[in-house]
A and B are shown apart, each in its own frame.
Chain A
Amino acid sequence: MRAAAFDYHAPSSLDEAVGLLAEHGDDARVLAGGQSLVPAMNSRLARPGHVIDINRIAHAERPHVSAGRLRIPPLMRHVDFDTLAVDGPLGPLMRDVTRHISHLPIRLRGTFCGSVANADPASEWCLATTVLGAEMIARSARRGVRNVLAKAFYESIMTTALADDEMLVEVQIPLLSPFVRYGFHKIARRSGDYGLALCLVVYERDEDEMVKVRVGLGGVEAVPRRLGAVEELLERRQPSRRLFREAADLAAEIADPLVTADGDEAYQRDLTRAVVTRALDRSLEG
């Protein structure tokens, strides 16, 4: 199929882009990488009357670091995280995560901010921003700029706190301490496919103990979520296979799986157990 007809806009600045959003509201969609939006349009799941192509906006590709945060602009592509975006553990973490996203042609086009704004439950970046305590910067022509914490940003499946006239213009991620260890794992049917379950674990080592433990689960529930009870179980404990197994069992118990065509609830709890175990195991490697 082909997309329904639309009016095409190619603003050359963010001001112009949010101006167009203010004018057209929920009849407009922002086109960044287009790797999710265009298939949705081609199958007519999405039929915006106006497409605002932001690819001609200059200086929207390179990230920078300020005030202890990695600041990611709207046109930073998945592939741009292959080279370390920032010093410290956050650079390799983002590189490891981005390597799980789809395939080269998709990674060359698809953008970080586009994934975040799209809020697919299986998105690697939605999970990472949740676990890393990112802040989303939303901008509208009328109300200016506001910050939304990741926790409040993802509302439901493919639904975010962004208003119809708002554009996600930046994502800020706090830098990580040099003592951080992390583990990421994704279970998918084929390499490059959507994840059925994803887990990102981040903690600091204090002597032999794990502290400031963060465990996030993606793909299983409607939105990515930190598993507080699992984090508490691991906090101030020494890592061990046995403890990790216990944590994964708890995660499987407290997960609230979406019922999808992909499988029943018991299967999704099994996936949760496996993905959490493997992410925890990974945190001890390297």
Chain B
Amino acid sequence: MSRNIRITMEVNGEDRTIVVEARTTLADALREGCHLTGTKTGCEDGVCGACTVLVDGEPIRSCLMFAVQAHGRAVRTVESLSDGITLHPLQVAFHEHHAVGCGYCTPGLLMLTLGALERSPEIDEDEIQRVVAANSCRCTDAHAVVKAVRAAQTAMRAGRE
């Protein structure tokens, strides 16, 4: 079997066909193959969560999935959140609640919490804390992140009604 593999995945609503090695992680394929560098890599070991993206709607560590596994699947990265003019309610809330420090972990936190809210729109604060604990942030107050997610949850609920 060939070690170079052509894959097609839907990335932020658009089909992308790229050639990867079997060992290429989804994180590397997004950053280097699709030139979407919003997704950050931190530990590259599944611990920090900076590389979190949505695959078929589920927040996953893109450093722990090989790109070939995303063939035929729908991937969403942080670039999908804003059109460049209007921010997503989560981005607005992160800004308003000072949930961004250096910003390196922010794309991962945004995709993690977006995925969690889309899976379970009514999760309570305890559950949000448990979700946020999945990702490491070393310079911002995690409480600010939880507050931002609570605010975004309200805004997203209003948006649905």
A: residues with CB less than 8 A from B are 1-10, 31, 34-35, 38-39, 41-43, 51, 53, 55, 102-106, 108-109, 190-192
Contact = CB atoms under 8 A, between A and B. Distances in A.
Interface stretch (B79-87, B99-107, B129-137, B149-157): B129-137
A7 B1 CA distance: 6
B58 to A, nearest CB: 5
B134 A103 contact: yes
Contact of B44 (A1, A35, A190): A1
Given A39-B46, A105-B60, A5 B1 contact: no
Contacts of B9: none
B1 A38 contact: no
Interface string B44-66: 11100100100000111101111
A171 B98 CA distance: 47
Given A106-B46, A108-B58, A192 B22 contact: no
A191 B133 CA distance: 7
Contact of B23 (A4, A106, A190): A4
Interface of B: 1, 3, 5, 21-25, 28, 44-46, 49, 52, 58-61, 63-66, 68-69, 112, 115-116, 130-131, 133-134
A39 B52 contact: no
Nearest to A1: B44
Please classify the interface of chain B as helix (H, G, I), strand (E, B), loop, or mixed, using the class held by over half of its residues: mixed
Contact of A38 (B3, B28, B59, B65): B65
Contacts of A7: 1, 3, 22
A17 to B, nearest CB: 15
Given A8-B68, A105-B59, A38 B131 contact: no
Contacts of A34: 64-66, 69
Contacts of A109: 60-61, 64-65
Nearest to B134: A103
A260 B61 CA distance: 28
Contacts of B52: 105
A38 B46 contact: yes
A38 B64 contact: yes
A8 B64 CA distance: 15
B122 to A, nearest CB: 15
B57 to A, nearest CB: 10
Nearest to B68: A8
A105 B25 contact: no
Contacts of B45: 39, 42-43
B23 A104 contact: no
Nearest to A40: B45
16 contacts: A3-B23, A7-B1, A39-B45, A39-B64, A41-B23, A42-B45, A51-B66, A102-B134, A103-B49, A103-B134, A105-B60, A105-B134, A106-B46, A106-B134, A108-B58, A190-B133
Nearest to A4: B23
A191 B64 contact: no
Contacts of B116: 104
